[in-house]
Structure 1
Amino acid sequence: MGTLGVALALLAAGLVLGLFLGRRRGALTTAPEVPMEALFSAEAEESLRKRDAIFAKVFNLVPDTLTITRIADGRYIEVNHNWEALSGFMREEAIGHTSAELDIWAIPEQRSQLIGILQREGEVRDFDVTFKHKQGHQFYTKVSASTFESDGEKYMMLAVKDITAQRAAEQAIRDINQQLEERVQRRTLKLEQANAELAQALETLHRAQDELVRSEKMAALGALVAGVAHELNTPIGNSLTVATTLEHRLQEFEGQIKVGLRRSDLDHCMADAQFATEVLVRNLMRAGDLVRSFKQVAVDRASSQRRQFNLQDIVSEIVITLSPVISRSGCEVQMDIASGLELDSYPGPLGQVLDNLINNAMTHAFVDGQRGRIEVHAHDLNADEVQIEVRDNGVGIPADHLKRVFDPFFTTRLGQGGSGLGLHIVHNIVTEVLGGHVDVSSQPGAGTVFTLRVPLRAPASAQPA
């Protein structure tokens, strides 16, 4: 109820009460505009009745419930028609009875609090009061109140607004909010549990990926060992053959000495010994060079240390280590590496990249025993970068696979030895260790080209894999 409405309602109530009390106590002087000489005349009585009827009508037209009670004992002096619908009590049941007799205040302390505020401040606006209906149930209201005094008695006028439906709606909203909060908490808990499970699964996946990466590295080292054995087998085998032949020739020479040595026999023996020595030295030097190369590759792969190196040497060493696999595959590997390309970078990781790309070509580019060609090209792009290409003339990569080749665990040879990590490792090494970029282009039936762009000097922030 607005301030103006409350004021009007209380004014109407006050006027009605003033006339009512004045008539009961003979204090008819409270009615304005009635001449003193006509107070006891019939006209005065009629005028008062009409005035009472007007103010009673106004009192009952106010939309809120209005009551007038005596402060001392809570006795009801007047109520309007809305009182009956709100409280369940008829007007005749209320007038002359106290609020305690009607048991209308559900919380009696609220009446004492209300009166205390009225005594301090003179009026009250929107005070929360819980009343009890005649049938026993409670209803909630907002009360505005004022006091007045007549013949030494203090009275309280109340304008009561029913907010039970509003309270019920607010409670319903609170209940819904509580339910929503509980649902959100349950969902949050489930999400936290799901996130924890996902984090654990991701950690397990990372461990598995690391293990597979180590397996890939061990497989590369295995290929290195096989390459060492294969490449060393030729010079060592040749040296053994020459040494055995030289041993037999010396035994013959010894027999010739016993029966009589001729000048021609000595010359032939010296020529054979010189030839054998040359072959032995050449093959042993070849073996020594291979051992040094393999040792450097092994150190680079194991330690991933940064150093200065010649790109042509690194590519040659990688092709040598892969020669057994290349021979079995029936493929041909050609190199076209510009001379003078000196890098300050990580030869081990770069060698692993080239190893993986050549192996990937031999594994996927050629099918059904097809013989193919793999080419490794390298040249400088500018003063700071070098471009390395590994290309093949194989079957190519389908367009729907092309954008996924660097994804971890993506392979078209699942269960046939493919882990799906080779190209993923290539991408990680090139971008994170060498500080470069790797791209792939392919046309089905026209082969595949992997293009690496790496700086001649690896960035200082790069860390070996």
Structure 2
Amino acid sequence: MGTGVTAASYLEQETHTIINQFKASMLKRSELDKYLNAADDATKIILLNLKRASELISSFKKVAVDRSSDAKQNFNIKKYIGAVILSLRPQLKKANHHIVVKCDDYIDLISYPGDFSHIITNLIINTLIHAYPSGIQGTITIDVSHQNDKLKLIYSDDGIGIPEKHLTKIFEPFFTTRRGHGGTGLGLNIIYNIVTQNLKGKILCTSQPNKGVTFTITIPTENGGTL
């Protein structure tokens, strides 16, 4: 929105200048042409930023409603992951990481979208807090597939990884290596409970120092959802 406000302020200033020149009979054709070009550019910037803001608000509303509902819904997993990522744009914009979503367009679920929102959100926030030193840009990959009545979601980043001694503890409540720096120790525990209890699935984490981390989530579609 900041860029849109700047463009609107610039357009307002230039418009006042043109009006004053016109009233004083001092408006030149070259100045009018310059103003019209600037107004066209500013209008495009304003419309683009308003569209982005509208998309962001829509994603916030959709994700918020889904999280507050316990009812099963029919939803497209690829589109829904996109909506969750869009709702996280303010946090992602600061880090400027690249997110790649690999998922067939046709995978529809009858399941609990709010649970999937919590899973994706907490995984991404966990990456933002733990995976990359300040100023380092990375790539997050979300790979979704469906085989043999099971939905498989593989989430990975190319960050600093998790020490082997911590791998057996990461799903425990309140376990964190970043207490006081944004870590609560609850994010991965929430994911674990959602996957294993709500969706009757399994979650596995593998990692090597400086080679990133991979979370593999497997959910039976006869329990967690129906294709």
The reply on whether 1:239 has 2:10 as its aligned counterpart is: no
Residues matched between the structures, number: 223
Flag the 1:261–1:311 CA change in 2: closer, same or farther, 3 A: same
The reply on whether 1:288 has 2:54 as its aligned counterpart is: yes
Note the aligned Cα RMSD (angstroms). Answer: 3.1
The reply on whether 1:299 has 2:65 as its aligned counterpart is: yes
- TM norm structure 1: 0.42
Flag the 1:455–1:331 CA change in 2: closer, same or farther, 3 A: farther
After TM superposition, give the deviation of residue 335 of structure 1 in Å. 1.4
Alpha-carbon separation, structure 2, partners of 1:417 and 1:348: 23
User: Does the 8 A contact of 1:332 with 1:372 survive in 2?
Assistant: yes
Flag the 1:389–1:252 CA change in 2: closer, same or farther, 3 A: same
User: Does the 8 A contact of 1:306 with 1:347 survive in 2?
Assistant: yes
**1:447 equivalent in structure 2:** 212
After TM superposition, give the deviation of residue 426 of structure 1 in Å. 0.6
Deviations 1:180-234 (A, max 9, x none): xxxxxxxxxxxxxxxxxxxxxxxxxxxxxxxxxxxxxxxxxxxxxxxxxxxxxxx
- TM norm structure 2: 0.79
- Structure 1 residue ranges without an equivalent (≥5): 1-235, 461-465
Counterpart of 1:404 (choices 160, 166, 169) is: 169
Counterpart of 2:76 (choices 304, 310, 328) is: 310
Pick the structure with greater CA Rg.
1
Q: Percentage identity across aligned positions?
A: 36
Alpha-carbon separation, structure 1, partners of 2:210 and 2:6: 46
| 1:220-369 equivalences in 2 (<5 Å) | 236-258=1-23, 259=25, 265-326=31-92, 328=94, 330=95, 332-340=97-105, 341-366=107-132, 369=134
Alpha-carbon separation, structure 1, partners of 2:137 and 2:196: 29
After TM superposition, give the deviation of residue 397 of structure 1 in Å. 3.2
Partner-residue secondary structure (3-state), 2:147: coil
User: Does the 8 A contact of 1:394 with 1:445 survive in 2?
Assistant: yes
Counterpart of 2:141 (choices 358, 363, 376) is: 376
Alpha-carbon separation, structure 2, partners of 1:342 and 1:366: 33
User: Does the 8 A contact of 1:396 with 1:445 survive in 2?
Assistant: yes
Alpha-carbon separation, structure 2, partners of 1:318 and 1:354: 7
**2:198 equivalent in structure 1:** 433
Alpha-carbon separation, structure 1, partners of 2:76 and 2:102: 10
- Structure 2 residue ranges without an equivalent (≥5): none
Flag the 1:371–1:283 CA change in 2: closer, same or farther, 3 A: closer
* Aligned-partner residue type, residue 49 of structure 2: N
Counterpart of 1:389 (choices 130, 154, 179) is: 154
After TM superposition, give the deviation of residue 378 of structure 1 in Å. 1.8
Flag the 1:240–1:311 CA change in 2: closer, same or farther, 3 A: same
Alpha-carbon separation, structure 1, partners of 2:39 and 2:135: 46
